[in-house]
C-alpha cells in the first residue's frame, strides 16, 4: 500500500503553535531575572502539581528517572535491599533500583492491563520470601525486601488497592512509577502518585505533560519524606555545605518549570483529546472486525486512563509494523525486551519463560499514534492500513 497520508507517532508542533507567544514570554522573564535555579516558577509548579496529583508536597527534579532514584534514596534503599517491580516497563524503573545498589525483584504482569500483578507479587512473597526478625527476606539472595515499585503503564493506574495491601501486610514502602500517568485515576477517583509513599512523574517531552527537555517530580503526602527529598536534591546539604546525607544534584530547571506552568493549564484538555482518540480507535477496530488479529487496550471499569500510549496486541506484530511504516504510519514497541532478559541484568540469572505474560506482551504489543491533535481522518487511516494488512 502506498503512503497516501502521513501519521507520525507523535507531533508536538501543533501543541506548541497556539502557546508559542505565551511560552516565549515566560522564558524571556526567566532570562531577564537570570534566576535559573529553584526560583518562583519551580515553587508554583510544585504546588500545582502536588494538588493535581492529590498530594501535599511536590519536589521538582531533573527527570522522571531522577525522581525514582531520589525516592529510593530518601527511603534509605541501597545495598542489601531489594525492590519488587514489573519486568514490562521502561528501563529506568529497574535501572534506578539497581543504581542504588539494591536488587530488582521481578514479578509478572496482569495480561489484561499489562500492569504489575498483585496476585503475582503476593505469591512471590509467600513462595520465595520469609519473615526474619521483622524483616522480609528474599530467600535466594538474602536481600531485605523494602518496597514495591508498581508502574502505571501507558497511563492506566495499576491495581493499587491490592498492591498497597500486600505492601502493608509486609511492611513494604510503595514507590509509584507514575511517569506515564499524570492525572490517571482509579475507579474511586484517586490519582496516580497519591497511593504510595512517593509518586514519580516525568515531563519527558513525549509524556502527556512534556517539558522542553528533561524534568520530573516526586509527589508525596509525607512531610518528613518530602523534606528528606528536598535535602537530597541538593547533595544532601542542610544547611548548605553541611552534609548529614549524601545526595545528588537532582534539581529541575527554572526554565522548564516556567514552560510547564503554562502547559499544565492545558493538560486536562490534552488528556481528553487522547481519550477521544482512544474511543475512536476502539470503535473503528470493532467496526473493522479483524477477527481477533488485533486486541485493543483493556481498561479496568471506571478508571481514568490518560492514554500516554494506545497499545494494541497484534498478530504478526513485526510484519504489521513494517507494513505501517511503508504506509506512513509511525509506531513504536514499548518495550521489545522485558527487563529480566536485559544483558545488564544477567547477574539476576533469569531465564526466558520465567515471566510469560511480560514476554508475550513484549512480542505482541504495538503503540499507535494517539496524540490529541490527530484528526479522525488520520485515525481512520491508521485503522484502514491495519485492516488492509490482515486482508492482504
Ligand atoms: C519516561 C519514563 C521514565 C523516565 O522518565 P525520564 O523523565 O525520561 O527520565 C520512567 N519510567 C517510565 C515508565 C517512563 O515511561
Domain boundaries defined on the chain: 15-264, 267-390
What is the CA(347)–ligand 1 centre distance, in A?
A: 24
Cell 500510549 belongs to residue: 309
Alpha helices in 199-341 (DSSP H): 223-233, 254-264, 267-288, 317-326
- Mean pLDDT across the stretch 332-346? 98
| Cα radius of gyration rounded to whole Å, the chain | 21
Cα separation, 127 vs 136, whole angstroms: 12
CA distance 82 to 255: 36
First to last CA, the chain: 10
Share of the chain above pLDDT 70, in %: 99
What's the pTM? 0.98
Does ligand 1 have an atom closer than 6 angstroms to the CB of 60?
no
List the one residue out of 177, 220, 179 whose CA is nearest residue 84.
Answer: 177
Q: For all residues of the chain together, what is the average pLDDT?
A: 97
Cis preceding-peptide flag for 335 (omega within 30 of 0): yes
What is the architecture, at CATH level 2, of domain 15-264? Answer: 3-Layer(aba) Sandwich (3.40)
Check: CATH 3.30.160.110 for 267-390? Answer: no
Q: How confident is the model at residue 2 (pLDDT cuts 50, 70, 90)?
A: low
Tell me the C-alpha distance between 65 and 177, whole Å. 9
Counting from 1 in the atom list of ligand 1, the atom nearest the Cα of 216 is: 7
Q: How far apart are CA 182 and CA 34, in angstroms?
A: 30
Cell numbers describing residue 39: 526560583
Query: How do residues 78-98 score in pLDDT, each as one tens digit?
Result: 999 999 999 999 999 999 999
| pLDDT tens per residue, range 4-50 | 899 999 999 999 999 999 999 999 999 999 999 999 999 999 999 99
- Cα of 152 to ligand 1 centre, how many Å? 11
Pairing of strands 57-61, 129-132: unpaired
Testing ligand 1's pocket by substitution, the residue of 64, 158, 306 carrying the most ligand atoms inside 8 A of its CB is: 64
Candidates 174, 143, 7, 123; CA nearest to 79 is 143
Amino acid at each position: 500500500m502506498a503512503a497516501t497520508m502521513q501519521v507520525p507517532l507523535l507531533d508536538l508542533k501543533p501543541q506548541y503553535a497556539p502557546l508559542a507567544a505565551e511560552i516565549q514570554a515566560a522564558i524571556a522573564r526567566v532570562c531577564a531575572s537570570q534566576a535559573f535555579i529553584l526560583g518562583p516558577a519551580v515553587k508554583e509548579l510544585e504546588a500545582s502539581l502536588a494538588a493535581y496529583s492529590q498530594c501535599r508536597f511536590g519536589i521538582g527534579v531533573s527527570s522522571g528517572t531522577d525522581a525514582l532514584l531520589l525516592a529510593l534514596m530518601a527511603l534509605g534503599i541501597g545495598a542489601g535491599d531489594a525492590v519488587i517491580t514489573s519486568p514490562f516497563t521502561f528501563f529506568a524503573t529497574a535501572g534506578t533500583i539497581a543504581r542504588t545498589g539494591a536488587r530488582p525483584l521481578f514479578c509478572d504482569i496482569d495480561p489484561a492491563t499489562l500492569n504489575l500483578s498483585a496476585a503475582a507479587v503476593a505469591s512471590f512473597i509467600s513462595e520465595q520470601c520469609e519473615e526474619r526478625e521483622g524483616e522480609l527476606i528474599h530467600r535466594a539472595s538474602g536481600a531485605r525486601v523494602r518496597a514495591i515499585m508498581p508502574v502505571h503503564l501507558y497511563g492506566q493506574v495499576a491495581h493499587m488497592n491490592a498492591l498497597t495491601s500486600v505492601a502493608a501486610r509486609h511492611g513494604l514502602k510503595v514507590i509509584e512509577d507514575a511517569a506515564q500517568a499524570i492525572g490517571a485515576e482509579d475507579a474511586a477517583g484517586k490519582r496516580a502518585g497519591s497511593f504510595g509513599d512517593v509518586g514519580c512523574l516525568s515531563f519527558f517531552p513525549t509524556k502527556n505533560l512534556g517539558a522542553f527537555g528533561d524534568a520530573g517530580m516526586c509527589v508525596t503526602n509525607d512531610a518528613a519524606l518530602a523534606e528528606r527529598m528536598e535535602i537530597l536534591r541538593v547533595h544532601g546539604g542542610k544547611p548548605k555545605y553541611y552534609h548529614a546525607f549524601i545526595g545528588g544534584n537532582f534539581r529541575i530547571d527554572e526554565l522548564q518549570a516556567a514552560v510547564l506552568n503554562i502547559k499544565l493549564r492545558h493538560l486536562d484538555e490534552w488528556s481528553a483529546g487522547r481519550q477521544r482518540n482512544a474511543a475512536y480507535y476502539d470503535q473503528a477496530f470493532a467496526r473493522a472486525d479483524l477477527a481477533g488479529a488485533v486486541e485493543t487496550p483493556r481498561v479496568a471499569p471506571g478508571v481514568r486512563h490518560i492514554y500516554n500510549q494506545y497499545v494494541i496486541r497484534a498478530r504478526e506484530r513485526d510484519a504489521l509494523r513494517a507494513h505501517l511504516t511503508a504506509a506512513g504510519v509511525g509506531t513504536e514497541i514499548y518495550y521489545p525486551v522485558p527487563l529480566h532478559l536485559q544483558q545488564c541484568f544477567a547477574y539476576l540469572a533469569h531465564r526466558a519463560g520465567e515471566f510469560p505474560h511480560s514476554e508475550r506482551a513484549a512480542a505482541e504489543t504495538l503503540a499507535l499514534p494517539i496524540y490529541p491533535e490527530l484528526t479522525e481522518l488520520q485515525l481512520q487511516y491508521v485503522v484502514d492500513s491495519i485492516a488492509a494488512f490482515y486482508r492482504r
